[in-house]
Every structure is written in structure tokens, then in C-alpha cells.
Chain A
């Protein structure tokens, strides 16, 4: 296998995996595929795909500025790859946005509903316009391969210079506006990154990154196709990058100094570590590499230096995009594997298009030779040696298709079906309260729970036959229904009567009159009451009256266990006003765990915040 085949096979597999995830993202929603939360609404797709994608596309405007505006003709071999990279970078951004947006079919709303106060409005317009400009800028290249479109090509070539100029102007806006996005979050972004000149810093770093991205892309694509590396050009770009990164460092540190934030670098916090790593990787070490003539002209050092700038700049965008907000929001977000799969899938797809363009069009001065084996090649017989010269074992395209389909299938196979419900009713921690039938159910898994009277529920629901009403009846593999399945609406009474479940054993479609009075409209009002058939439905001494088909609301069901007695006692003690607080909410809803719980459970209850329900002393009268 040669390099091209290996690289393409891997890329196709990543595209397949990404496609499987993309389908499930639209089928099941963002919650099912991402680890995003209300506290971290922007994740990998914004921090990496959009923020870093735009930054990596900076090579396009930097090189066109160097070639067309500064008229440095020696960079000619790099112009076409750079413009193509920029175009594909923006297409990748658009793809990722379509996946990330909650309502991607409304993306065109930016064109008709204007809010010019919003930096995101500017970002949106820049993406739309610059992608179009890049398409027009690049399209003469594929058009030149056939004479049919010569007229269109000539027409576009007339506007080459204004298009390039417009592209540079739009890029200036767009690179900086990604920084403006975060100006509105002085409360969230760490002070080492938050500054009023964030847009300017984003622009300067984008120029430096653009120079190095073109270099890195030239080195990598050269390596894949075993082409001689453009060492002398990379060295020149590196020399320029030293100046740009130097300016970046000066502006960055002077700004920090004026704001008096330099001390934060040595605070030893998570953020100060991120800051030092970012500055070293993105600027200081590459500057040392490219400032020294001995290392500047060596291919190995060029690989290292350009990769560090690219990696460091992506790191910087991710830091601003969320990593440095973690300590404020307190939400430790880490992307799910599915978010990574989409990101890698989109990037891989763009690289494949890039490789395709290099092979088919005149991107490089010297086109690489056709490396695709003929998919339908038959073995040839060599008359000289009297042997069969075999066709390539598996031709390229067959391999790619196989990798793609296999990854797609694997993607679907390993997709977690239950992620949507995580934190929900599954695996609810249930503790038996000491010495009794009362269970302590931590339905929210936050260390706080409610007391659940098991025997009481058995009695009210129909004795020995009633297990199925709660246990393993809702879904396969479902162990028990959550409280809310019957006490469904927290604050409303709810219909717990399952009509079909009753109709079928009664005789199906001919049995309506078994329950509904003949001649009446078949509504709940005309039906028999539950207890006329289920004579044992209400056990003697039950506190809750079943009047209709309604289960008591969740809160009522919980309260009825205690509050009835409390009220009674309250009434008896009406002559003792100082004792009146027996039925007040705060009497039960305290922040301490009930005494009857095991020590380790009580330990968990020491969390101070948001105590939902703790019912002191419930089992003392009830559980034995």
C-alpha cells in the first residue's frame, strides 16, 4: 500500500463514522449525541470546527495578500493550494454549523432578520460572503480543464483582483469578529483572555497562523505525494511569521500589563497553566525555530515549527471558546465521542476533496501522477516471464468504499440508544431505610430522595397481581417505573388509566358496554368507576381517596403521607399558638438527612444546595 491509499482509506473511514453520527444527531437531537449542557451550550463543534476552522482558513487571505498585494511572485506555487484550503475550511465551518445549530433550516434567517448589535450577525454575514468570494476566486481553476466554460472563466478572471481584495477585507472582519463574540462575556471568560482588544489579537494571530498553515499544508501534502518539499518558501514564510508572532506577543503582554493582570500568569491555577502552554506552543518556541537560520531551513524543524503554530492557535481558540470558562460555570464539559466523530468526519471529508482537487486539477505546478489503480483491472499475462502479473490486490476505490461502509455500520452499531435518558429513571439508587418496608428513592441521583412506601403501593394498586403495573411493564429491560410514570405531572393530577390495557381482556371492540353506559357518549364521564370492578382497590385505612381515573399528583402523593396527620394534630393544638408550625413546609423540608438512614447515605445528604425532600421521622412511626 502506498501513502496515498493508506491516508485516503483512513479518511474515508472517518467520513463514514461521522455520517452515521450526523444521521443520529438529526434523528434524536443534540442531547442524544453531545455532552452539551445548559451551562455549556457551546462545545467542540463551535470551539474547534467553527473557531479553529476559520482560523486555519486564514492561509487563503494571507497568501493572496502577499502574492497579489505585495506582489511577491515567488509565492506563486502556494497561491492555489492556499485558496483551496481556505475555501474548504469555510465549507467545513458551514457543515459543522449546520450540525451544531438547533434549527439549521433557519440559518437563512440571518439574511432577513437583522440585529447589527450582535457580533454573531457579523460573523454570519462574513461566512456567507467570504465563502461565495472564495468560490468565485477558486472556480477558474477547475473550469480551465474544459474549454466549454472558457467564457465563464474569462469573465471571472476579469474580476480576479477585486475579488482578492474583497476576500482580504472580509477576512479581516471575520477573523476579528470571532474575538468580538466573546466581548459580551466578561463574567465568564478568564481575565487572562478577556480583553477589549480580543478582536485585534484574533486578527494578528490569524495572520501568523495563516503563514504557518500554508507551510504546514504544503509540507503535509508534499509528504503524501512524495513531492520535494518547498523548503525555501517555507523558510521565507517562517521568517515573516516570526515578526507577526512577535507583534502578537508584544500586544498580548502590553495589554495584560496595562490591565495589571500579569500576576495571574503565576497564580498556579489551571488557567495560568493553559496560558503558559498556549504562549509557548503558539508563539515562543516556533519563533525560536524560525528566527535561527540553522533550523529555519531544515525540513524537520519546519514540520515542528509550523505544526506548533497551527496546534497552538487551535488551542488558543478552544481556550477562548470554553476551556477557560470551566471554573466559572463549574460545568466540566468533555466532548462525547460522537462530537469528535463529526468533527473528524467533516475535516476528513474536506481533506479528501483537497486531495481529489490536487489529482484532478492544476493546483500544483507539477501535477502528481495518477495513483488510483483501475478498479476493474484484470490480471495481465507477461509473455516474457510466462507468469500472471496480478492486478492490485484490491484497487483503491474498492478499499475506500469498504472502509466507508464498514465505519458507517460500526458507527450505527455503537451508538448509545439510552443516552437521551441519562440521569433519568434508569438505575435509580434505591436504599432500604433501616428496618422497614419504606424505600428511600433517589430519583434525581443528586443525593436527595423521597420515602417510598412499597406495601402501601401494593395495596392501593391491587395486591399480589399489581407488580406488573410498576415493574418491567413499560419497556424491555426497564426494571421499574419512576414515580412520575403515574404521578406524572408534578403539579397536576394525571390520568393513570390505561384504556387499551383494560379493553383487551374485557373483549376488545365489542366490550365497550362493559364499562360505558349503553347509549351514552363513550367518555370518561359515562364510564364505571374503578372500584366497581376493582373492589379491593382501596384498602381499609387508605389516606388517599381514588375518586376518578386520576393518580394523585406527585407532590400530593408525597405530602399525603404525612401532612394529613400533621394537620389533624395542628387542629387539636389550635389553642397552643406557639405549636402551630407543625404543618409548615420547612418542618419537613430541612437540609439534614433523616436519622434513620444508613451512615453512608446520610453522608451524601450533607450537600448544602437544593434539598428537594427529606422527610424526618417518617419510618419511625411507619417503617417497623
Chain B
């Protein structure tokens, strides 16, 4: 089963109940504004936030739980990995703190405990344990207007397209997260353009495939370079031998 969250921007009133529920659920601490934070409200202590845009429009920001997550592909030790329900989880015990996941995320989601001596990467984990137990994420369970709802990804996609179709003119005809970077588990429908959520809008590339060719050619390059060097050595040695009549044994350094 692949689960998803659908957020309907036209329904959000910006009450921040989802943010509060998330903080309660994971006992997140005081979030003092810091130099290293972006002004999108996300931080190591805020795993979801609500952006304000003129209108007013309220856009909830959180980890998109990509179907093909770049962060999990980038992590050298597999501390970030995708679970069977589609959530991208993080394991404290494996992480070595290289922050490659933060570089690789097209949405700029993962945050770091910059002020800790023992820092970890922090982001939304789609309430994996609650979902596994048959529940739903803390944020969607408290939304008073059902602006953000939880369910099966295929069903929510159908619901999103249904809403767009039934309300002509109300929405922009696009479901954010349906195809971007190979599809994400967190979907949006909206009456304003949400391209600003991603570093590069409308990017269809699945990011883990970008490094695949290079990684697959590693053994070839390794053995190939060895072969080229040995061959070069053999040819030149032979040539020198022919030239000087006798091989000078000169392998001292």
C-alpha cells in the first residue's frame, strides 16, 4: 500500500492546528528563530509549517515523501530509507552527519540540529508508526476544515482530479506531486501556483537515476584503468627493451 496526504490550498484557513499536533506528537521543543533557518518556518523543531501568501493563501509545507527519494539514494549509509507504505524515515543510529541528503533534496526539506553537539537530521516522517498501527498522521487528524487529508495515494489522486473537474475555474488544473521528481506522496491542489515549493519547477526526472549510470560504470572504470596502465607499461617496457637491447632492471624508487 502506498499512502498519501492531499492538501487543498483553497480550504486551508491557516489555523496551524496541524503544526501544533505535530509538535505535540513528537514532543518538539521551543523553536527559537535562528540564523541558519530559512524563513519557511521549517526547522529541526518544526517538521511542518504553514506559509502565508498574499490573498491570503496558506500553504502547508512538509516532507514530500517522494516515491523515488533523492535523499535515500544519496545517503551513504542508508540512514534515510523508504518504508513499505511510502514514508521516508530516518535512523539516528546510522547517520554520520554528512548532510548529503540536505544537498540532494529538491524541495529543501531536511533540517539540521545546528546548535547541538550531537546533531541529527530532522524532517516529517509521515507518522509512520501511527499509520502502521492503522491510524493516520497527527496533522491530518486535527485539520478542522479537512484541507489536508490522508488516504491511499491512488484514491487521493482520483479525488484531486475529481475536485478539479467538478469546480471549473476554482483550481489550477494541476496536481502538484503527481509527476514531479517521479511523483510524491504529498499532493497539493491549489488556486495559486505552487511551483515555488521546489527548487526547479516541473522537474520530471527521477533523481536517483541521475547517478545510476555513473555508479554502474564504477567497476568498468576501475578494471579498465588497471588494464590500460598494465598494457601501457608492457608496451613501453618492450619498446625500451628493443631500443636498448637489454632490459635495464630499474624498479628502484
Cβ contact within 8 Å between A71 and B78 = no
From residue 196 to 224 of chain B, which have CB atoms closer than 8 A to chain A? 198-200, 203, 205, 207-208, 210-215, 218, 221-223
* Interface hit among A24-32, A351-359, A473-481: A24-32
CB distance from A50 to the nearest CB of B (A): 10
* A113 engages B205 (CB within 8 Å): no
Q: Is B36 an interface residue, CB under 8 A from the partner?
A: yes
Is B151 interfacial (CB-CB < 8 Å)?
no
Interface contact B102-A609, CB-CB below 8 Å: no
- Assess whether B127 is interfacial by the CB under 8 Å rule: no
Closest B residue to A119 by CB, please name it: B211
* Interface set, chain A 434-476, CB cutoff 8 A to B: 443-446
* Given A102-B119, A117-B212, A610-B51, CB of A484 within 8 Å of CB of B237: no
**Which chain A residue shows the least CB distance to B96?**
A106
| Min CB gap B58→A, angstroms | 8
Give the distance in Å from the alpha carbon of A399 to the alpha carbon of B16 in the complex. 62
Question: Once the chains are docked, how many angstroms separate the CA of A176 from the CA of B222?
Answer: 11
Report B-chain residues with C-beta under 8 Å of the C-beta of A611: 52, 56
Min distance, Cβ B28 to any Cβ of chain A, angstroms: 9
Q: Is A401 an interface residue (CB 8 A)?
A: no
Most chain-B Cβ atoms within 10 A of its Cβ — which of A26, A199, A490, A555? A490
Interface: A186 (CB within 8 A): yes
Return chain A residues, CB-CB under 8 Å to B116: 29
Q: Is the CB of B114 within 8 A of A36?
A: yes
A176 CA to B218 CA, complexed, in Å: 9
Say yes or no: B38 contacts A39, CB within 8 Å: yes
B194 at interface, CB cutoff 8 A: no
Contact B23 A484 (CB under 8 A): no
Give chain A interface residues in 386-422, CB to chain B under 8 Å. Answer: 420-422
Chain A residue with the shortest CB-CB distance to B70: A184
Given contacts A172-B225, A591-B56, contact A122 B112 (CB under 8 A): no
Chain B positions 53 through 77: 1 when the CB is less than 8 Å from some CB of chain A, otherwise 0 = 1101000000000000010011111
Q: Tell me whether A224 is interfacial, beta carbon within 8 Å.
A: no
Categorize the interface residue count of chain A: 35 or more
Q: Is the CB of B33 within 8 A of A444?
A: yes
Q: Is the Cβ of B74 less than 8 Å from the Cβ of A488?
A: no
| Interface check A579, CB cutoff 8 A | no
Contact A38 B102 (CB under 8 A): yes
- Assuming the contacts A161-B251, A609-B51, asked whether A41 and B198 have C-beta atoms less than 8 A apart, the reply is no
Shortest Cβ distance from A110 into chain B, in angstroms? Answer: 6
Task: Please tell me if the beta carbons of B32 and A117 are within 8 angstroms of each other in the complex.
Answer: no
Q: Which of B33, B96, B232 contacts A423 (CB 8 A)?
A: B33
Of the candidate stretches B103-111, B154-162, B165-173, the one touching chain A is B103-111
A608 near B: Cβ within 8 Å?
yes
Q: Which residue of B lies closest to A553 (CB)?
A: B20
In this assembly, does B37 line the interface, its C-beta being within 8 Å of a C-beta of chain A? Answer: yes
Answer whether A199 and B108 are a contact pair too, CB < 8 Å, given A70-B232, A591-B56: no
User: CA separation between A110 and B95, bound complex, in Å?
Assistant: 10
Across-interface contacts of B74 in A (CB, < 8 A)? 118-120, 184
Contact in complex: A165, B230 (CB < 8 Å): yes
Cβ contacts under 8 Å, A109 to chain B: 77, 94, 96
Q: Does A382 contact B (CB under 8 A)?
A: no
* Nearest B residue to A488, CB-CB: B30
Give residues of chain A (225-241) contacting chain B, Cβ–Cβ below 8 Å.
Answer: none
Against A, the Cβ 8 Å flags (1 = close, 0 = not) of B92-132 are 00111111101110101011111111111000000000000
Which residues of B are found within 8 Å of A176, using beta-carbon distances? 214, 221
Q: Is the CB of A37 within 8 A of B38?
A: yes
Given known contacts A31-B34, A38-B37, A424-B32, A186 and B114 CB-to-CB distance under 8 angstroms = no
Measured in the bound complex, the distance between the Cα atoms of B214 and A165 in whole Å is: 22
Say yes or no: is B40 at the interface (Cβ < 8 Å to chain A): yes
B179 / chain A contacts, CB cutoff of 8 Å: none
Q: How far is A114 from B77 in the complex, measured between Cα atoms in Å?
A: 5
A residues 29-56 near B (Cβ < 8 Å) are 29-32, 36-39, 41-42
Instruction: Give a binary string over B71-95; 1 marks a CB under 8 Å from any A CB, 0 the rest.
Output: 0011111110000000000000011
Contact between chains at A71 and B240 (CB < 8 Å)? yes
CA distance in complex: A121, B30 (Å): 35
CB-based contact A103/B97 at 8 Å: yes
Q: Assuming the A-B contacts A38-B37, A38-B112, A586-B14, are A184 and B210 also in contact, with contact meaning beta carbons closer than 8 angstroms in the complex?
A: yes
Q: Give, as a whole number of angstroms, the nearest-CB distance from B115 to chain A.
A: 4
Docked Cα-Cα span, A123 to B43, in Å, equals 29
**A446 to B119, alpha carbons, bound, how many Å?**
26
- Specify which chain B residues have a CB less than 8 angstroms from the CB of A609 in the assembled complex: 39, 51-53
CA distance A506 to B218 in the complex (A): 74
The answer to whether B14 and A37 have CB atoms under 8 Å apart is: no
Question: Cβ of B211 and Cβ of A589 under 8 Å apart?
Answer: no
Q: Does A173 contact B (CB under 8 A)?
A: yes
Chain A residues with CB under 8 A of B39: 446, 609-610
B222 touches A172 (CB 8 A): yes
B193 in the interface, Cβ–Cβ < 8 Å?
no
Closest CB in chain B relative to A133 CB, distance in Å: 13
Residues of A within 8 A of B54 (CB): 591, 608
7 sample A-B contacts, Cβ–Cβ < 8 Å, listed by A number: A117-B215, A176-B221, A179-B214, A183-B210, A188-B103, A490-B23, A555-B20
Q: Which 6 A-B pairs have the closest CB atoms?
A: A102-B97, A31-B114, A187-B200, A113-B77, A491-B20, A41-B99
What 14 new A-B contacts, CB under 8 Å, besides A103-B95, A484-B32, A610-B41?
Answer: A30-B119, A31-B115, A36-B114, A38-B102, A69-B236, A109-B96, A118-B73, A165-B230, A168-B229, A169-B225, A170-B222, A184-B210, A423-B34, A589-B14
